[in-house]
A and B are shown apart, each in its own frame.
Chain A
């Protein structure tokens, strides 16, 4: 029964997602190998919740997000999304996005949107704020009539910008304001799922909190679900209900925030957590310095990808890839030694 309920609430479920970028060399552009940017990722997002997606730079978070919204064509996997756009009476219906044709995919795109990391590059410098926010509506054939203008005004007010400024160009706004324009654009079609790709990491620390709070308010007002991508755990902690930790194209641990932060099961999560600043300055904890660099996704190590940097590594870790298993209810981990270790949280 509880299992059934859990199923019902799921908005997005990704299974076995893979994205390999070919590495091409030479005059004939022969493929000499693949960057396994995303290598067998499975995760799900419930309605109205935020799934944090964290990991060091280059571990495939952006690629995962872009595959979900089909900006990249995944190499393998399934992306099930609960959409109301395809049925005439608006009944929710689970569809595999990868099986949709272009026309139907476009319809479903109304229900998903993306917020980008770079507030400069994500707005076309030659378009006014109005044109930028109205563009999704234009793409979906709503024209540029008075309703569209009304929507733009309402969205601008929602994100805390002045509607009078809508004929200005992006370069006339500060970084935080530009990010708000990007947020307004993402909301233009009333999406259900918003993928936020490091929406605050390019902003001043002073503006980060403001923007995060705005995202939280909007989530409540519009009933949004978020996939919130970030590279450190401290930002994710404030906004997420559940957190997935990625390492070199794989999800190594998923759990809800409290469990993950207080009782991590994966040594990589523990290492990331040790870098989170503590609220109490007197509380001294050792920061776990990982040896070496993030593994190269074009040429990953054998067995568990993390073993060369793991301080608990055993011979088995080098030989066999660990299974991704549900060790505790709703707490998944991919580590041979997950049960036996007592790792430190915060």
Chain B
């Protein structure tokens, strides 16, 4: 059979072929930037969302006597020039600055606090279930005087390093959860609108246009205002996620609608229809899977804006409120110039927000290039 030649020549043995996702993975792997983005994103979720209690040396609300203490640097070499295998930090000494009439800290090199790994610290429940007290690192558990504040402390003497890890949990999850809800709303409404057309389409399109035309922040504010203040923090969190999704699904729905409109004219869809396929089958077997790769890309690229929206809202005091802690909530602390001037380490959540946003964009760009293996070759 002459028609079979090309395949036999290339793949003599292998009968089961590469699936679509294999091809995607193969192309994704070649993109170094995307891999870096993926690793950063995954490790952030691993550290913050899954194992925050383990990676943070202190619990979220642990208050020390050191208020607004500056970050301690990690050292290996002491003032006498001796090298220590175990890293350590120097103690801090409180001073009142008479000029500024403000508390400051100076480094006290006479006090050395070694950093211990896998230490027994404050007890916690892993995943809210398993009781544990092991932390990745921390001060000497036997010395009640010892402390380690790598990113300094806040106004109430809480360790910034720990709080950033905990804050990342809510910030990162709100992006993911909000985006999952967005995908659901946008895909279903966009696909229905594109497939059925008519009045449904008209309605969905007008709503998405309204959402697109309306400035985000006032809309968030209006919606956030309806969350009753007496609600429990968890409900506030879910409502906020839902609000983010409700405000943001429109863009995705428009894209899905466009894709469905073009895919619907593909001959393979017509073939299915010519055999009497149901609408449900056409939508879920052909149209939505056909659009899925684009949906994933669009969604991935939109997660950062969702994280940023949460940060902005919480910073404005419209989103999450303490005791819930997200990066935006942490940044509330620096809403005046005084804080930036005298405690700039309170801004450390910012590089984390930026890194997350950049990593997600790198990942999303890589996915976009990888997910269309037929398109470009």
Give the size of the chain A interface in residues (CB under 8 angstroms): 44
In chain A, residues 131-181, which have Cβ atoms closer than 8 Å to a Cβ of chain B?
132, 135-136, 139-140, 160-162, 164-165, 167-169, 171-174, 176-177, 180
Segment at the interface with A among B128-136, B161-169, B221-229, B270-278? B270-278
Q: Are A113 and B275 in contact (CB under 8 A)?
A: yes
Q: With A and B bound together, what is the CA distance between A128 and B15 in angstroms?
A: 12
What residues of B have a CB within 8 angstroms of the CB of A227 in the complex? none
What residues of B have a CB within 8 angstroms of the CB of A105 in the complex? 276
In chain B, residues 246-293, which have Cβ atoms closer than 8 Å to a Cβ of chain A?
266-268, 270-278, 281, 286, 289-290
What class of interface size applies to chain B in its complex with A? 20 to 34
What residues of A have a CB within 8 angstroms of the CB of B289 in the complex? 126
Confirm or deny: B20 has a beta carbon within 8 angstroms of a beta carbon on chain A: yes
Would A173 and B7 be within 8 Å (CB), given that A123-B268, A140-B276 are in contact? yes
Known: A139-B275, A160-B1, A185-B271. 10 other contacts (CB 8 A): A109-B275, A113-B274, A124-B286, A125-B20, A135-B277, A164-B15, A171-B374, A174-B3, A182-B271, A189-B275
Confirm or deny: A66 has a beta carbon within 8 angstroms of a beta carbon on chain B: yes
Min CB gap A105→B, angstroms: 7
Confirm or deny: A114 has a beta carbon within 8 angstroms of a beta carbon on chain B: yes
Q: Of B1, B6, B276, which contacts A109 at CB under 8 A?
A: B276
Q: With A and B bound together, what is the CA distance between A71 and B277 in angstroms?
A: 11
0/1 per residue, A185-220, Cβ < 8 Å to B? 100010000000000000000010010000000000
Min CB gap B8→A, angstroms: 9
0/1 per residue, B284-319, Cβ < 8 Å to A? 001001100000000000000000000000000000
Q: Are B272 and A139 in contact (CB under 8 A)?
A: yes
Q: Which of A106, A112, A135 has the most CB of B within 10 A?
A: A135
What residues of A have a CB within 8 angstroms of the CB of B267 in the complex? 116-118, 121-122
Residue of B nearest to A119 (CB): B267
Q: With A and B bound together, what is the CA distance between A180 and B1 in angstroms?
A: 13
Q: Of A121, A161, A162, A169, which contacts B266 at CB under 8 A?
A: A121
Confirm or deny: A69 has a beta carbon within 8 angstroms of a beta carbon on chain B: yes
Q: Are B16 and A167 in contact (CB under 8 A)?
A: yes
Confirm or deny: B17 has a beta carbon within 8 angstroms of a beta carbon on chain A: yes
Confirm or deny: B230 has a beta carbon within 8 angstroms of a beta carbon on chain A: no
Confirm or deny: B110 has a beta carbon within 8 angstroms of a beta carbon on chain A: no
Q: With A and B bound together, what is the CA distance between A182 and B289 in angstroms?
A: 20
Q: Are A135 and B275 in contact (CB under 8 A)?
A: yes
Q: Are B7 and A165 in contact (CB under 8 A)?
A: yes
Q: With A and B bound together, what is the CA distance between A295 and B275 in angstroms?
A: 34
Q: Are B17 and A172 in contact (CB under 8 A)?
A: yes
Min CB gap B339→A, angstroms: 52
What residues of A have a CB within 8 angstroms of the CB of B15 in the complex? 164-165, 167
Q: Are B271 and A139 in contact (CB under 8 A)?
A: no
